[in-house]
A and B are shown apart, each in its own frame.
Chain A
Amino acid sequence: MQLVRSWLNKITIERIQLELMNTAYGSGHASLSRLDPRCLLIWYLFFAIVPWFISNLTVLAGMFLMMVVTTILSRVTPFIILVLCLGLIGQVGWLFILSLFFGGDISSALPLLKLTLKLSVVSLASITVFSGMDPEKISDGLLALGMPAAFSFSLSYGYRILPVLFEEFRNVLLSYRLRGKAPEEPGVMYWRMAAYYLKLLVLSFFPLMLATAKRSRTTVEALETRGFSYGMKNPAAKKLKLAHLKVSTRDIMFLSGSAVYVSLLFWISGRL
């Protein structure tokens, strides 16, 4: 119980905000972020699709190991790993417990373990690419691969605006708390407190919506001043924007290394 409490104390809004800032700005120094974003996205496309079609435990476990290594290389914050673990437990854990309840035994864990492995390979690949790389680089890579400009812009905008929005939301929430009155008794299982905070959470979106409307107008005006929609429809402008993307030896080595490793996995599983 003590352990749980000390864990919960670590999860505060300030800490979450700090971690988000770290995700948005602190990823430039990771060794994987020096790779060409197009190569990394193609690499990701492979690991996002292929695991679904594989049911061999050896291959999946090997891929999982590789993903763990790349995730460590991309220096992801522990907060994101925690969220991932909670999500996996939520998705698969309940299914397992209920199938035990309906007369299954430990053997029902094996197919579910495969599902978990698949899910975690795909998730870790996306963490490696999307949390370990500079948002501008990802967005340029997506643009180069032909995604719509609105989406690739939204991606880098989202990473940058989130800490700001979060700060603003906190201020609104705090001012509501200052003016309001918290329930005197927490109630059974803190339901009164939970209801109070959830109500504040919803109410805070009223001023936030108006403020965000203003901000999005400013954003789009700034974009159009720099010729966003004209430039993105003009091939010459797009080419100029993406001219800095170059495939180097490092990228080729990374891709071929991954390919060799994966084929090795298939070879080993074929021999077993």
Chain B
Amino acid sequence: MANQSNLYTLTSSQKMMIFVLSMSLYGLSNMFTELIPALQLGPIELSVEYFAFIPLTLCMLFHPVYAAVGASVGEVIFGELMLGQFGGLGELEKFLTFSFAMYVAGRMVRDPLNRRQVGIAAMTGVIIHQLCSALVDIGKVWIGVEEFEAVPGLAPSVVIVEGVSFLNDVLFSGTLFALLPTLYLVPRLYGKIEPLLGIKPRVKSTKYESAGVITPKVVITGIVLAVVAFVAESLSETDWNFGEWDSGFEDRFGVGAIWLSLAAAAVIAAITIIIMRARAEKRSRNSGDAPHA
């Protein structure tokens, strides 16, 4: 029984509280980081990429899944939708990599009062996220701009832009806006913020559903999510217009080819909606029998 009491279980409203908290705080900070001007030193840009310390702190103090997903939703709503920067399908990759990185960082911390653990976890979270997004960005331009090989100087410039921004984000933003504030905030908030949500502060022996830090489940989920993100990204920028893709194609099929691509897009959109509706209906039917479940 003593073992059971240390298992980290939350009621559904507590989960919702963590979600709302993380969403509104990180969303607010996202509005600032979108507006703070960047300092340009030649091609090197010292910019405040994001206030990663907010989701990092919350992931270390609360259940990491809800805090991480909440922060990503906050970014989509405040930083993208409200400011009109929503890139459609491409945001999926950001959403997944960011949630995953924050989740891993939160899971790495066993004891929030141990500063070394907190520091290592914070940096790991930032590095995972930045590495994923830099690689995806390079691939995106590679596939997205169809005359990529033909344009002289585009290939090295993309790699250099991404590499510099990776270094900037990890060394500059990562230290100043992830490592130091997290080290400052986590021990101070520990034990103070949890009672406000009616949650017991986690202790060393607190266990989530599975105990280990890097379980095979976490690793496999990470790989799968990363692949899904990359495929979504590259697909979203591939030029599938038949007219330009193969010049002979248009001569043979004429305008029909373009109609074909239009129809394909429409079918994809329709299927998305149908799947979403079907799933929603199934869910509501399932829970209709037992609304409390």
Contacts and interface: CB of A to CB of B under 8 A. Distances in A.
A161 B24 contact: yes
B208 interface: no
Contacts of A255: none
B270 to A, nearest CB: 9
A234 B292 CA distance: 9
Given A46-B266, A104-B152, 5 more contacts: A126-B86, A154-B20, A221-B13, A229-B12, A270-B255
B239 A53 contact: yes
27 contacts: A49-B269, A53-B241, A56-B244, A80-B83, A84-B84, A90-B38, A101-B157, A104-B153, A107-B151, A111-B146, A111-B147, A115-B144, A127-B84, A130-B84, A157-B20, A157-B24, A158-B78, A161-B24, A162-B78, A165-B24, A169-B28, A201-B32, A208-B28, A216-B197, A234-B288, A234-B291, A266-B258
A147 interface: yes
A110 B244 CA distance: 15
Contacts of B147: 110-111
A111 B28 contact: no
Nearest to A127: B84
A40 interface: no
Contacts, number: 261
Interface string A124-155: 10110011000000000000011100110011
A14 interface: no
Interface of B: 12-13, 16-17, 19-21, 23-25, 27-29, 31-32, 34-35, 38-39, 43, 48, 51, 53-54, 57, 73-74, 77-78, 80-89, 141, 144-148, 151-154, 156-158, 160-161, 176-177, 181, 185, 188-189, 192-193, 196-198, 236-241, 243-244, 254-255, 258-259, 261-262, 265-266, 268-269, 272-273, 276-277, 279-281, 284-285, 287-288, 291-293
Contacts of B189: 206, 209-210
B27 to A, nearest CB: 6
Interface in A46-74: 46, 48-50, 52-56
Contact of B89 (A16, A49, A54, A81): A49
A124 B84 contact: yes
A100 interface: yes
A219 interface: yes
A230 B292 contact: yes
A146 B277 contact: yes
Given A99-B157, A154-B73, A214 B288 contact: no
B25 A205 contact: yes
B255 A220 contact: no
Contacts of A131: 82, 84
B154 A154 contact: no
Nearest to A135: B82
Contacts of B48: 198
Contacts of B292: 230
Contacts of A205: 25, 29, 51, 53-54, 181, 185
Contacts of B81: 126, 130, 155
Interface in A20-44: 20, 23, 42
A214 B177 contact: no
Nearest to A146: B280
B160 A123 contact: no
A146 B276 contact: yes
Contacts of A263: 262
Given A56-B241, A130-B86, A49 B20 contact: no
Contact of B273 (A52, A83, A145, A262): A145
Given A115-B144, A235-B288, A216 B17 contact: yes
A122 interface: yes
Contacts of A208: 25, 28
A139 to B, nearest CB: 10
Interface in A201-233: 201-202, 205-206, 208-210, 212-217, 219-221, 223-224, 229-230, 233
